[in-house]
Structure 1
Amino acid sequence: AEGFNKTQSEYKVVPVYKGSYTETLTAAIAAFRAKQAPHIVQVFEVGTANMMAAKGAVYPVFQLMADAKEPFDPKAFIGPVTGYYSTTDGKLLSMPFNSSTPVLYWNKELMSKAGLDPNKPPTTWPELGDMAKKAVAAGAKCGFTPQWQTWTMIENFGAWHNLPYATKANGFGGMDIELKFNDPARIKHVQTLAEWGKDKTFVYGGREGKSTALFNAGDCIFHIASSASAAAIEKALGKEKVGIGMMPYWPDVIAKPQNSIIGGATLWVLQGKPAAEYKGVAKFLTHLSSGPIQAKWHQETGYVPVSIAAAEITEKEGFYKTNPGRDVAVKELTLNPPTDNSRGLRIGNFVQIRDVVDEELESVWSGKKDAKAALDDAVKRGNELLKRFEAANK
């Protein structure tokens, strides 16, 4: 915003902090109802179906740019990102900004201490388990901890192994859907983690991004976390101690991984402002999505370069040569053409469904339930929330 404000004097963008992604979404809905909505709201990918259903509240980006006569080409963005936020006929509803995907981080120092090659990370889950056990035996406090477990261990696990999360192409084909993530592969995966939990091969570090503190403290050898955590992790441990690679897969489920799906957020424009102000909004979005701005954002954080130009600039500057592993996120997202199981997730009441999945996974980690009972219950409870969403948005 500061950069944009410095480039021109006609408009001034004022950013307002409203807390976490969930808090921001709640605040935006309340503000819209009170006719005090902001022009732009940053909504995480989990809120996409809710934003799409909020008819009359959203000013679709493709429409805004056309009305403001601002040059705009959705093909300038990378496919996995536009696919997630477009209508079925390819019209972009929100402006891609900070997109990420989960990657595997490892602590090279702990690898060496365990007698492992710090430059040879695990590629499969059985390998990760073996290496994590060795590290714990060699004195590490923790083998593996995941960040945002619903996103990494259930949602992305499905895309990576080409398994559905829900019917109708994970909700892209309509609202009347049912959850499908209580399949044998996910049950086995969650049960395996629970078994690993008995000897600290797996350690649960809390919801959302809380577990990163364990990795940053040097406790865990492996961490699956957002690519957007890269800069902070490298700062905490020292760049030379951190490895970044692709997520592992189960070879008995899939011969080779499919592709990962995005997290992070996009910028949604809300209705109800004067046309002259929307011209400023359009100009600001053009500024934010420009190659140089996106390249800088990608390099300084670890979010993926959402535009093709940003990726090209970063490559040309030799960034990946001096920052190995920082190109892994894009490689995962574009590993294979997406399938109905790996394009993304368009799920109503998704924030509440994630809370349910978190609760049920926690019941496995605490030993109250086995993986099958927990995932069956999560699907049952989640389907109730989906029915409510469908009824409210018919």
Structure 2
Amino acid sequence: MKKRLIGIVCSLLVLSCTGLAQQQVPEGRIEITFWYANKGLLGDAIVQLVDKFNASQNKYWVTATYKGGYATTLADAIAAFRAGQPPDIVQVYEVGTATMMAAISTGAVYPIYKLFEDTGVPFDSSQYIPAIAGYYSLPGGGLAALPFNTSTPVLWYNKDAFQAAGLDPNAPPSTWEELRFVAKKILETHAAEIPFTVSWFPWTMLECLATLHNVPFATLDNGFGGLETELALLQHPLFTHHLEYLLAMYNEGTFVYSGRDSTPDGTFPAGKAAMLIASSALRGRISREATFAWGETFLPFYPEYAPTPYASIIGGAALWVMRSPQASKEKLEGIATFLAFLAQPENVAWYHTYTGYLPVTIPGYELARAQGYYEQNPGADVPIRQLLREPVTPYTRGIRLGDYGAIRNLVYDEIEALLQGQQTVEQTLRNIVEKGNEILRNFESIYK
């Protein structure tokens, strides 16, 4: 009897985590397969949206399956297509955008603008925030994928640490000079173990650095103009200036390198770091874990390179539709119906407030504002306002490079060598450009 009760409890726990999304397809429903790459709270949000869609109508059934992290999910989707059994929808991170764009010409990907045209399912692509839609758009302007979980870097700061250092807790730094001044005060007063650190170094310290100052990161409009693009980090003094500035902060102890990707994220809610540049999607975790007063503000910039900062660029992922010869007209209509459902303002606003990711549409943003979310959560609109900065230029639209994950790993290797005293800033940038261009040429040879 005891074992039976344990079994029942375990079954209930599994059901509560998976929701209806992975239950057996009800008789008479057309199944739509959806592979996603988020887990924890973010994965739970996806399951809830899928369950809501499945319960809202009786014609289609979306089966959502967690496939692992972003890189694994992308690799599995490509392998599944080659095997003739692709998922109908797959969540792909922004690093894989160039790969998915290239896959359109191979017949692996069904651009969603074309899907909506072919099925006649109503859809308004103009509702998407331009900085987000532009990143996932084809040269002609049509959306290739549905923007979904989107974030951008911001500066998180510990107000209690500011106060302990004799600083105004309501006056965060806006420039790099101000940030360094604050970091020195934090260090001198021992107000925090780490004055300043960053997550996702390639994204936050080089890619967004370029867009904030309207400087090219790569040729051919940051890769949007073709596969022949090359890295442009040696073509503007901004990159040299910034790495020298960070190196000086590192040597004086005001900047601490805390690891790759999201590894440094936990230093802030744990109270170790007084300032952290990281994804805006960290808000949910900070809200749950931080036991101190904190704030969220815009990324710092260099006024000497841009008197007024431009927009940052996005991270996160989009939903891509895979082509399958077996897909019926009814199934394609179901896929389009599900994507249109996700784009509804109430669903965009709910996902935004539940996860901390940005509202990808203007109606979703306006609904969240009307519901009082930003009044109740000061600073939550900072990343949106940062993305809405104008004008949008070829250098602020985003960065689209082939095998982008490999390039980011290369950046980590070279930055770590710099911080360890193994090479100069000039050599670091030269290595990134030369080795990065080799990666780009290899990608070009595969897809051109």
Higher relative contact order (CA 8 A, sep 6+): 1
Matched ranges for 1:1-394 at <5 A: 1-54=50-103, 55-139=106-190, 140-182=192-234, 183-238=236-291, 241-272=293-324, 273-275=326-328, 276-394=330-448
What's the % identity of the aligned pairs? 43
Moved more, 249-258 or 196-205: 196-205
TM-score by length of 1: 0.97
The one-letter code matched in structure 2 to 1:9 is N
- 1:166-207 Cα offsets, whole Å, 9 max, x none, are 011101111111100233211221222222223431111111
> Please, what TM-score do these two structures have when normalized by structure 2?
0.85
Deviations 1:19-70 (A, max 9, x none): 2222221121112112221111111111111101112100110111122221
CA distance in 1, matches of 2:276, 2:404: 24
| Distance of 2:238 and 2:303 partners within structure 1 | 11
Q: Separation in 1 of the partners of 2:266 and 2:72?
A: 22
Q: CA RMSD in A?
A: 1.3
- Give the C-alpha shift of residue 299 in structure 1: 1.2
Deviations 1:297-348 (A, max 9, x none): 1112221111111011011111111111000111111111211111111211
**Secondary structure of 2:109 counterpart:** coil
Structure 1 residue 226: deviation in Å? 0.9
* C-alpha separation in 2, matches of 1:360 and 1:28: 31
CA distance in 2, matches of 1:47, 1:181: 21
Alignment partner of 2:60: what SS? coil
How far is 1:279 from its partner? 1.8
Structure index of larger Rg: 2
Distance 1:17 1:199 in 2: 44
Structure 2: distance between partners of 1:21 and 1:304: 19
Distance in 2 (alpha carbons) for counterparts of 1:114 and 1:344: 37
**Does the CA-based 8 Å contact 1:122-1:248 persist in structure 2?**
yes
Question: Which blocks of at least 5 consecutive residues in structure 1 are unaligned?
Answer: none
Distance (whole Å) between structure 1 residues aligned to residue 273 and residue 75 of structure 2: 34
Unaligned runs of 5+ in 2: 1-49
8 A contact 1:188–1:371 mirrored in 2: no
Find the aligned partners of 1:190 and 1:203 in 2 and give their Cα distance: 14
**How far off is 1:17 after superposition?**
1.5
Q: Which runs of 4+ in 1 moved over 4 A?
A: none
